[in-house]
Every structure is written in C-alpha cells, then in structure tokens.
Amino acid sequence: MREGDRPPDPGLAAKPRPTPPIDPELGVALEALGDEARQPYTPGNLASRRRRDATARPRPTLRELRADGRFEVVELRAPGAPGTRDVTLVSARPAGIAGPLPVLYYMHGGGMITGNARSVLPRPLRAWSEPLQPAVVSVEYGPAPEATYPGPVEDCCAGLVRVAAHAAALGIDAERIVIGGKSAGGGLAAALALLTRDRNGPAPIGQLLVCPMLDDRNDTFSGPGRRPRWAGAVPDGRRGAATRLRRRGHGAGGPRFARRAARCGRRPRREASPAALVSSRAVAR
C-alpha cells in the first residue's frame, strides 16, 4: 500500500460530532456562570481571567492557613534549575503531632495557567491532613505561558528533592511520600513520578491523581475548549505525540513498549489512597 493510500488514523482525523446533551441541573449552573466562563482562554483575555480566578480563590495568609493553631505552616524555598527562580513550597502539618509524618506532596490545579500553592491548601488540610494526620507540602510551579515545558515539572521536581533532602528538619518521613494533584496538578504529578524515577530521585510510594490532565491531544468533546490552556505547557510539535507513538508500537501493549519494559526491568509503582498514607502495611516503616 502506498503512503497516500493509507487510511487516516481514526484518533487523528477531525470528525464533525454533535455536542452531547448536558444534564438539565448542570445546565442551570452553566447558564449562571455566564458567557464569559465558557469562552476559551486567549493571550488577550488571560490577564483578566487570572484576576477573576484570584478573586474567586484568594491567596490565604500563613496565619489563615494555620486555622487558629490547628496546623503548623511554614513557607520554604527550593533552588530552581540554573538560571531560573527559586521554587516556593508551603509546608503544613497537624499541630502537636510528634514524630516524622507521611507527606502528601501536592500540585495545585488551574489549567497550567492559574492557581497558587496557598489557595489550594485549605481543602486537603481539612479533608486529609486533619483526620489522617499526614503533612501536606504544596508547590508553586511556574504557570504557562510564562513558564514553558519542561519548566513546571522541573519546578515540582526541585521542590520534591528539597523536601526529601530536608525531611528530618521538616518532621516528615522521606520513605512515605505520596505525590498528588488535581487537574493540571494531577498531570504534573504523573509526569513528576516518571521524572524522579528516571533520575533515581526520591521514590514516592504512590500517586493521588484527581481528575488529572493527562492527554494533550484534545480530541474529546471537552478538549478543544481547553486547548489554549496547554499552549505554553507542552513543547512545540508534541501535540498528538501519544497517538503517533501508539501507531509505531510504543504504546502500552505494543511490541516496542513490551521490549523496552523488559529491558528497563522497572518494578511498577503502587498507587495509594490518602488513607494508605497512614494505614497500609505497604507504607509501614
């Protein structure tokens, strides 16, 4: 078969598809957000959208994060890559708990372009740190488009190295680190797990990926509207790379993937729920 006669890859072909229906209850909430909330992010409206996000999710002070003494909270700095800024980390732990604690190393959401390390902390502190008693470290990675690939994941890696190296001073257990994040942060957490593995860096015991942004092809119903958010976060020409690799046999289950996995001899990483931070036998010291 000649190259020109080859049928197009169904994953790459642009097919017109009807917009799926929205549940009536969700439709009411969507209408209440107004037209602006449904518009894509562009270079022209990015600043105003960031201001709107900052108003909706204000950055709390360290005193506010301490919640009347329920948590011990400090802000740290980790050296960034040569020629880049330092990385800000916000470390929080339940007050009055002795001994090294397991830690959730967390990356905030925001489509790679909004959000910050502080505003995301109150919820994981209430939902996980208070009942389960792990520490939580939130990382302030550089947002796109100012920070281009691989800047954000390198920021996250620099912070992880700093946390593991200074575990004793922080009162945490470097052998019980779970990396996690939501949305954009979930995608960065997955990338960080691969990066620290390949560099023989700190070895997390699991990942907590909450609705992670993992697929950069944007060929789903919801993908095209979010495409501008990825613009500065993936390298040029990489969009659709996962599909191209699958076509060449590199995808999971493909022959080249199997051969590479056998050569690497890597043991799979276990995923852990928040409760596994403190209760699983697999994370016992």
pTM above 0.75, yes or no: no
Examine the pLDDT at 135 and tell me if it is beyond 60: yes
CATH number of 48-283: 3.40.50.1820
Q: What is the pLDDT of residues 2-58, one digit of tens each?
A: 545 544 444 444 555 666 777 888 888 888 887 777 778 889 999 999 998 899 889
Sign of CA dihedral 105, 108, 112, 116: negative
Q: Taking Cα atoms as reference points, which of 70, 59, 75 lies closest to residue 93? A: 70
Could you write out the DSSP letters of every residue in 233-269? TS-TT-TTHHHHHHHTT-STTSHHHHHHHHHHTPPPP
Q: What is the pLDDT of residues 59-81, one digit of tens each?
A: 999 999 999 999 999 999 999 88
Q: What is the pLDDT of residues 217-255, one digit of tens each?
A: 766 665 554 444 444 444 444 444 444 444 444 444 444
Angle at 182 between CA 157 and CA 218, to 5 degrees: 95
Instruction: Write down the pLDDT at residue 121.
Output: 96
Instruction: Write down the pLDDT at residue 230.
Output: 44
Instruction: Write down the pLDDT at residue 23.
Output: 83
Q: How many CA atoms lie within 13 A of 242 on its CB side?
A: 9
Report the DSSP beta bridge partners of residue 103: 135, 177
Q: What mean pLDDT do residues 115-142 have?
A: 95
Domain boundaries, the chain: 48-283
Distance of CA 106 to the CA centre of its chain: 8
Rounded distance between C-alpha atoms, residue 193 and residue 269, angstroms: 9
Q: What is the pLDDT of residues 147-200, one digit of tens each?
A: 998 999 999 999 999 999 999 999 999 999 999 999 999 999 999 999 999 999
Task: Compute the mean pLDDT over every residue in the chain, rounded to the nearest whole number.
Answer: 78
Instruction: Write down the pLDDT at residue 246.
Output: 45
